[in-house]
């Protein structure tokens, strides 16, 4: 089984699409105050982060989320927007904060998923995506995957079927009180990833550099990527 080890990682990298890293789009609309108020109420009724903060997510109580600290919205969104199939170490009901110990690892991970989207949609040509690098520090006891578990938990494909074993492990560890899992990156073999289960353990989240990733995707499965920081 996965075993506990102490970690002390400063400046772990999570790349967030730039369009989600700013203030709410509603705040920029030139509308009357009462109209913005109505739109905000509608947004709150359908926004998964606000639903979780209001106590209506059955897998995560509002007391687990962050309030009144920098980048609260970004951290809470990672846990309350898990996606319809979840991720490698989280199910569809509760998210996690995924980060790469190295920025190259995070770039490889997000590039893989963007490329997969383009290929699944049979889109050709170059497409550019902007990301903001959110840094956070992690210190404490986290589970590490044993060598015997890697074949089952770190399968590269098909997605989401390959997440079955790893999600089952994560669910068991979560309810045993685990802080999260450290594991070798599937998309960047020399890199290390963190899946943090607890919002309060995403320490000192802050913005760092911005990255622009340009991908060339082809329907035959080929692709090429260009990454720039600015």
Q: What is the pLDDT of residues 214-228, one digit of tens each?
A: 988 664 544 455 566
The answer to whether residue 30 scores a pLDDT higher than 50 is no
pLDDT band per the 50, 70, 90 thresholds, residue 82: confident
User: How many Å separate Cα 89 from the centre of its chain?
Assistant: 11
- Lowest-pLDDT range of 23-27, 61-65, 125-129, 132-136: 23-27
**For the ranges 20-24, 117-121, 188-192, the one whose mean pLDDT is highest:** 188-192
Q: What is the pTM of this model?
A: 0.82
Portion of the chain with pLDDT greater than 70, in percent:
77
pLDDT one-digit tens code per residue, 35-50: 334 333 433 344 555 5
pLDDT of residue 112: 93
Q: What is the CA radius of gyration of the chain?
A: 18
Bridging pattern class, strands 125-144 and 180-184? parallel
Helices (H), the chain: 18-21, 33-46, 48-53, 72-80, 103-120, 147-153, 164-175
From residue 65, give the alpha-carbon distance in Å to each of 68, 138, 167, 197, 210. Answer: 10, 17, 21, 11, 26
Question: In this predicted structure, what is the pLDDT of residue 63?
Answer: 79
Mean pLDDT value across the chain: 84
């Amino acid at each position: 089984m996965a075993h506990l080890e102490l970690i002390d990682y400063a400046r772990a990298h999570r790349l967030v699409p730039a369009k989600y890293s700013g203030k709410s789009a509603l705040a920029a609309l030139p509308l009357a105050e009462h109209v913005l108020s109505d739109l905000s109420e509608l947004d709150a009724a359908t926004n998964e982060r606000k639903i979780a903060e209001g106590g209506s997510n059955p897998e995560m109580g509002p007391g687990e989320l962050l309030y009144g600290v920098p980048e609260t919205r970004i951290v809470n969104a990672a846990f309350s927007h898990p996606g319809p199939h979840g991720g490698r170490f989280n199910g569809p009901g509760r998210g996690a904060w995924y980060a790469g110990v190295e920025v190259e690892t995070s770039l490889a991970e997000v590039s893989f998923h963007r490329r997969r989207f383009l290929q699944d949609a049979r889109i050709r040509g170059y497409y550019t995506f902007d990301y903001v690098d959110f840094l956070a520090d992690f210190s404490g006891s986290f589970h590490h995957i044993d060598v015997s578990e890697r074949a089952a938990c770190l399968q590269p494909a098909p997605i989401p079927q390959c997440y079955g074993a790893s999600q089952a492990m994560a669910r068991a560890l979560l309810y045993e009180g685990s802080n999260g899992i450290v594991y070798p990156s599937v998309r960047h073999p020399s890199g290390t990833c963190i899946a943090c289960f607890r919002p309060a353990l995403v320490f000192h989240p802050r913005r760092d550099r911005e990255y622009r990733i340009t991908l060339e995707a082809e329907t035959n499965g080929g692709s090429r990527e260009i990454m720039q920081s600015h």
